C-alpha cells in the first residue's frame, strides 16, 4: 500500500469501506486488513485512528445507527397522516433492512468484544434494531394521535413485533430481498387489528 499519501476524512473512508466489505462478504470477512485494502490505505492508518479493531467496529456501528436514525426517523415522522399506515410502515421496514442494518446485526452477534464495547454506550438491545423500534413506535404513536390506528393500540408492542418480523424477512443474505408485496403482507398481518 502507498505510504505518505494524505487521506481526507479518514474515519468516513474507513467506515464506508467497512460497510462495503460487510455487505459484499459478510461479518466473518470483516477484518482490519479487508477494511484497509477496500479503503486503499495501509493497515496502520486504521490503528492510528482507533485503539484496536473492535473499537473501530463499535464506532462504525454507532455511526451507521446515527445515520439511519436521522434520515429514516424524520421521513417516517413526516409521513404520519399521509398515504396509508401499512404503506408507510412497509417503506420504513424496507429502508431499515435494505440498508447496512441487516448486516450489522450478525456482526454484533459474531463478535463478543464488539458487543461488550457497545454495551458501554448502548446498555440494552442491538443498536440498529433498537433505533428502528423507537422510530416505528414514534410513528405509530403519531398515527394513534391522528386516529388512524386504534386509541388503545399498544405501539410499544407493535413496533418490536414489526421490526422482528421485518428482520426475519430480510435476514437471509443469500436470497433476494423480499418483494414489496411480501413486506406489505407482513405489516398488514401485524397491524390489521388496530387500523381505523
Q: What is the CATH number of domain 62-194?
A: 1.10.357
Measure the CA–CA gap between 76 and 179, rounded to whole angstroms. 20
Half-sphere exposure of 188 (CA within 13 A, CB side): 8
How far apart CA 161 and CA 131 sit, in angstroms, is 14
- Dump pLDDT digits (tens) for 168-180: 888 776 678 899 9
Share of the chain above pLDDT 70, in %: 90
CATH fold, domain 1-49, is Arc Repressor Mutant, subunit A (1.10.10)
Per-residue pLDDT tens for 104-155?
878 888 888 888 888 887 766 677 788 889 899 999 999 999 999 999 999 9
**Using CA atoms, how far apart are residues 119 and 109, in angstroms rounded to an integer?**
13
Report the greatest alpha carbon distance in the chain: 63
Q: Please tell me the total number of residues recorded for the chain in this structure.
A: 196
Does residue 1 have a pLDDT over 60? no
Burial class (CB within 10 angstroms; exposed 0-12, middle 13-18, buried 19+) of 117: buried
In the prediction, which pLDDT does 12 show?
93
Q: What are the residue boundaries of the structural domains of the chain, listed by start? A: 1-49, 62-194
Over residues 46-100, the pLDDT tens digits come to: 999 999 999 999 999 888 877 766 677 788 888 999 999 999 999 999 988 877 8
Amino acid at each position: 500500500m502507498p505510504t505518505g499519501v494524505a487521506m481526507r476524512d479518514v474515519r468516513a473512508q474507513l467506515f464506508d469501506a467497512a460497510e462495503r466489505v460487510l455487505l459484499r462478504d459478510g461479518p466473518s470477512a470483516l477484518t482490519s486488513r479487508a477494511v484497509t485494502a477496500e479503503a486503499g490505505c495501509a493497515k496502520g492508518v486504521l490503528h492510528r485512528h482507533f485503539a484496536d479493531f473492535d473499537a473501530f467496529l463499535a464506532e462504525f456501528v454507532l455511526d451507521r445507527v446515527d445515520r439511519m436514525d436521522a434520515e429514516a426517523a424524520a421521513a417516517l415522522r413526516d409521513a404520519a397522516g399521509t398515504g396509508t399506515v401499512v404503506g408507510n410502515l412497509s417503506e420504513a421496514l424496507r429502508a431499515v433492512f435494505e440498508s447496512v442494518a441487516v448486516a450489522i446485526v450478525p456482526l454484533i452477534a459474531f463478535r463478543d468484544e464488539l458487543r461488550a464495547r457497545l454495551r458501554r454506550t448502548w446498555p440494552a438491545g442491538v443498536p440498529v434494531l433498537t433505533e428502528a423500534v423507537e422510530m416505528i413506535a414514534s410513528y405509530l404513536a403519531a398515527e394513534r394521535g391522528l386516529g388512524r390506528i386504534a386509541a388503545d393500540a399498544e405501539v410499544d408492542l407493535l413496533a418490536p413485533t414489526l421490526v422482528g418480523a421485518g428482520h426475519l424477512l430480510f435476514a437471509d443474505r443469500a436470497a433476494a430481498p423480499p418483494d414489496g408485496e411480501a413486506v406489505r403482507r407482513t405489516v398488514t398481518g401485524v397491524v390489521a387489528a388496530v387500523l381505523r
